[in-house]
Every structure is written in structure tokens, then in C-alpha cells.
Structure 1
Amino acid sequence: MEGVGWIAAIIIGGFAGWLAGKLMEARYGIVLNIVLGIVGSVVATAILAQFHIEVAAGRLSYFVTGFLGACLLIFIARLVRR
């Protein structure tokens, strides 16, 4: 979460999680959307780091990684539920 403040991380993460929920047709509440966006960003950044891909600091890159990470977390949650 370097490069953005805590309030910006919550807002951007919430929006990324909400958008991922809409795209993946997940029915989660606003709080879980925020968590998915923030945790998704951390997860996606860690996965990209394993492939030696660095994510630029800033709000747009935080949003993109949050969105991709949230989609990944929703996908994994669906696999576990089955």
C-alpha cells in the first residue's frame, strides 16, 4: 500500500472490489467489497512480485491491482464453496 494513503486505499479498494463484484456477479456487501479490493491489491502485488513484475506506485496502479486481485479472490472463493 505504498504510494496511497489509508483513506485513499479504502476508497480505491472499495471501488475496485465493487467493480470486481459487478463483473463477477458476486453478491457481497460494501464492507466485503472494500476488504476484497484492499486484500486483492496486496495479493495481486505479491503474485506479480513472484514473477519479478513491479507495480508502479499510484492510485491507478493500486486500482488495477485491487481489481485483478479481487477478481482472483472471488474466483478462489467460488472454487472453495463448491
Structure 2
Amino acid sequence: MPLDLQALLILLIIGAIAGWLAGTLVKGYGFGVIGNIVVGVIGAYIGAWLLPQLGFGIGGLLGSIISATIGAIVLLLLIGLVRKVA
């Protein structure tokens, strides 16, 4: 899924919002504001890929924030579980 500059900037902004939101929703698994934003950006990419694969197509800005937040929450939980095991 190649991204042009505009799509990349939108992904970064939505990912930052999603990372912050995921960090506030998932207590105990956060990485601080900057870490959560980075996780949110990665989670936004994951959410944009994963949800359509599962048959959930959410459009628009709010839908993008929701799918990015879901991706960020999933990623935060996975990283938190790996950190606890290690």
C-alpha cells in the first residue's frame, strides 16, 4: 500500500491522535506520550489494513480515527504482553 506525501501526513496525524487515545484507554500498557504516538502511527497502519481484511469498512475521518485507535490498542496490548513475558 504505497502512500503519497499527503496520505502519509494524514496517517501521521491520525496515528498521533489514535496513539494518545489508546494510551488513555489502555492503562498500564502505555509508553508515555511520545511512545504512544509512535505506537499509534504504527497502529493506524495496522488498523487501516486489518479492519478491511476482517470485513469492517469504516470510512471518513472519524472512521479512520476509530480504526487507527483499534490498531493502536491491539499493538499496545501485544507489546505489553511481550514485555511482561520477557
TM-score range, shorter chain: 0.7 to 0.9
Please state whether the residue corresponding to 2:31 is helix, strand or coil: coil
Q: Distance in 2 between matches of 1:32 and 1:20?
A: 11
Cα 1:79/1:40, change in 2 over 3 Å: same
Once the two structures are TM-superposed, the CA of residue 61 in structure 1 deviates from its matched residue by 1.5
Return the offset for 1:30. Answer: 3.0
> Which structure is higher in helix share?
2
**Residue 30 in 1 paired to residue 33 in 2?**
yes
Please say if 1:66 is aligned against 2:77. no
Q: How far 1:42 sits from its partner (Å)?
A: 1.8
Partner of 2:12: 10
Task: Give the CA RMSD over aligned residues.
Answer: 2.4
Aligned identity (percent) is 32
| Structure 2: stretches of 5+ with no match in the other structure | none
Q: Distance in 2 between matches of 1:28 and 1:54?
A: 29
Q: Give the counterpart letter for 1:64 in structure 2.
A: I
One-letter code of the match for 2:24? K
- Of 62-71 and 32-41, more deviation after overlay is shown by 32-41
TM-score by length of 2: 0.70
Gaps of 5+ in 1: none
CA displacement 1:28-79 (0-9 Å, x = unmatched)? 13332222222112212322232233332x3211110111111101111122
